[in-house]
Structure 1
């Protein structure tokens, strides 16, 4: 029996959360561009952020608040302007955004976390922000997760949302999440933007540890184009409104909650990879036989991030040599005579030696995956074994199409 079940509601599925998403006039397109997630009570907050040395003002703002161990009540996200590389004025704009929302909600600015997405080098349109915040607060609803998910996207073709439910101490516990991301995806922490909520009661240090591990096994295991964003952030709130006992140490309940958190993050991460700009299919690389999980993930992510592998899959070319070459340059030690590569049901290489296989049928497998875009059967599965170790890992990505170049060549024009 499954440990949890999927439910509706996204970030407002857990008890004690509301959300909103509106058109504030931040995007030139006039589409929804301002989102808010709020907990009815102060929540434990955890976060993982970009490792880029060029960071948006919201990233440093959130880091400072989390390091100060403030509880959190709200997450405010604007789309349209990244507010990255905008100097001191960008920092002041971020602070003012928090102050404006704090005044409207009658809470402390220190209990507000911020996120931004859009064009690097552009400041937030503060006139539109100031005008939009009262409307945003007025639109808060326990059923508005979808509106918030829509308001955080940029080049995404679809919104990303999930909610799961399990039981702890015979009471229901829920985790919900929304995310955005399509291009500039090669996280060294999380992804473009992801927000997770739970009504579980948990200690701050355990929640942060769980989130960091979940990020490594999800958002840190995807790549679209090899570019890490200036604005990457994964923020998770836990408000305790399930009324279950507090999880303060490792054990069965902690393991169950972390497993569900990881499942939520993996669902959102795969949705981002599947929605890669111009992508026609999701690629999943499973690596086994490594010394440890980290090494296996490193090989998997190198393969799925290879422009040559991605291009071959888009061209429906079962070119196993590109997979072997990517595995070999991943920086993980293994003996090439142990290398085994399989594409779907097609075994291409074993014991470091090429095998005869039905090339037209393998090419058709890739073609069928591209025709199943946004369905479960759109996944191209690559299985790689590099030895006899116990380490295994998975990474996700997408193919590289002509449209990716077109979308990004015209991004600011």
Structure 2
């Protein structure tokens, strides 16, 4: 695993979820790091989101993350904000870092207030769990309906030497980003200017995490937060270095994005919806999201049904500007529709093997314009309904 230098990870079972399940995690940098974050656009931002945004606006450096699952601390009012700050005070004392250098994040049921006695009781165990090789446990502690923990790491060689990036995330439902849709934490040991790090994160999130959908919902708690502590001793000093680091960050986030959709609640398929030839990127995204969020398309994917008309229909109501006769559709590389009419041949026979695969590429060409978008989408299954019908049971 590509563990960046100068970070420690930990996790403990604090009984926020089922007894004995890891549900409280922390990541601590030995030296304060530059930080950047991208957060949900939902009007009902959770207490930790508001706290993070307020703290990041100070422009200071930070020493780590404090993360819990089981309770979202969203829609909890002034008491929720006060409890969030108090968790930072408790963790700061246990982990020996300043409270104003810890960035909080939470996930779980909306509306429940923290049990602060549980938080206080969990702190000694959290402190004892902190090691350089415990990232996997931290990734497990932030899971909710996820079936697997999600990690991605990479090492990249810059002019001054190697730097490492490690990302972890949780997310399986309430996924359709207008920022990012889940919790994701990036650690990096490069030395980089804070403004450049933020610009890099925003750009990479927009092209990866922002291009996935499971169920059309955007959470109250969505956060992607990244630290770069400089512990490698390698400065990101040139344009070439910046592009190399940007590429590495994109790789990490791209892998996490795929893992989210692959682990969609009840999901069995990942559709790679690739739209090209649009008048603009915005139009291409409208089509991609209409197709990726269509319940009819998603259920067809689940049933391995090559019902391509549902894709054409979704593109047509997407709101994107294009001529109907210009649309061309391919599924798994098989041309299905163009010039306003279906291609000849037995499409059920041609597409059947493709539709039974886990990963399915849906190519939609709208014309000859410069606009393009790639979106990853899951199918919609009976299991998704069961999971969310029983979520609080």
2:351 pairs with one of 354, 357, 362: 362
Aligned length: 392
Conservation of the 8 A alpha-carbon contact between 1:49 and 1:234: yes
| Pairwise CA distance, 1:389 | 1.6
Equivalent residue for 1:194? 184
Partner of 2:38: 48
Determine whether 1:381 maps to 2:361: yes
**TM alignment of 1:265-304, pairs within 5 A:** 265-304=253-292
Distance 1:29 1:289, change over 3 A: farther
| 2:64 partner SS | strand
Which residue in the other structure is 1:5 paired with? none
Q: Of the candidates 200, 203, 210, which is equivalent to residue 210 of structure 1?
A: 200
- Scaled by the length of structure 2, the TM-score of the pair is 0.97
After superposition, the C-alpha distances for 1:39-75 in whole angstroms (9 at most, x for unaligned) are: 1100000000010011210000000000111211010
1:5-27: CA deviations, max 9, x gaps? xxx14xxx111111011111111
User: For the Cα contact (< 8 Å) 1:348–1:355, is it kept in 2?
Assistant: yes
Aligned equivalents of 1:296, 1:255: Cα separation in 2: 26
- The answer (yes or no) to whether the contact 1:70–1:110 under 8 Å persists in 2 is no
Q: Quick one: distance in 2 between partners of 1:296 and 1:116? A: 33
Distance 2:236 2:214 in 1: 38
1:398-413 equivalence runs, <5 A: 398-413=378-393
TM-score (norm 1): 0.92
Aligned position for 1:3: none
Mapped partners of 2:247, 2:290: distance in 1:
25
2:39 equivalent to 1:59: no
CA separation in 2, counterparts of 1:29 and 1:354? 56
| SS of the residue 2:111 aligns to | coil
Structure 2 residue aligned with 1:254, among 237, 242, 257? 242
Which residue matches 1:4? none
Query: Quick check: 2:17–2:23 contact (8 Å CA) kept in 1?
Result: yes
2:149 corresponds in structure 1 to 159
SS in structure 2 at match of 1:302: helix
CA spacing shift, 1:256–1:296, aligned 2, 3 Å: farther
Deviation at 1:170, TM superposition (A): 4.5
Distance 1:263 1:391 in 2: 22
Q: CA contact under 8 A between 1:301 and 1:396: conserved in structure 2?
A: no
Q: Which residue of 2 aligns with 1:93?
A: 83
* 8 Å contact from structure 1 (residues 36, 76) kept in 2: yes
Q: Distance in 1 between matches of 2:306 and 2:198?
A: 41
Summarize the Cα distance change of 1:342–1:172 in structure 2 as closer, same or farther, 3 Å threshold: same
On the 8 A contact 2:158/2:236 being kept in 1, the answer is: no
Residue 31 of structure 1: aligned partner: 21
Within the alignment, does 1:17 sit opposite 2:17 as a pair? no
> SS where residue 120 of structure 2 aligns?
helix
Deviation at 1:364, TM superposition (A): 3.0
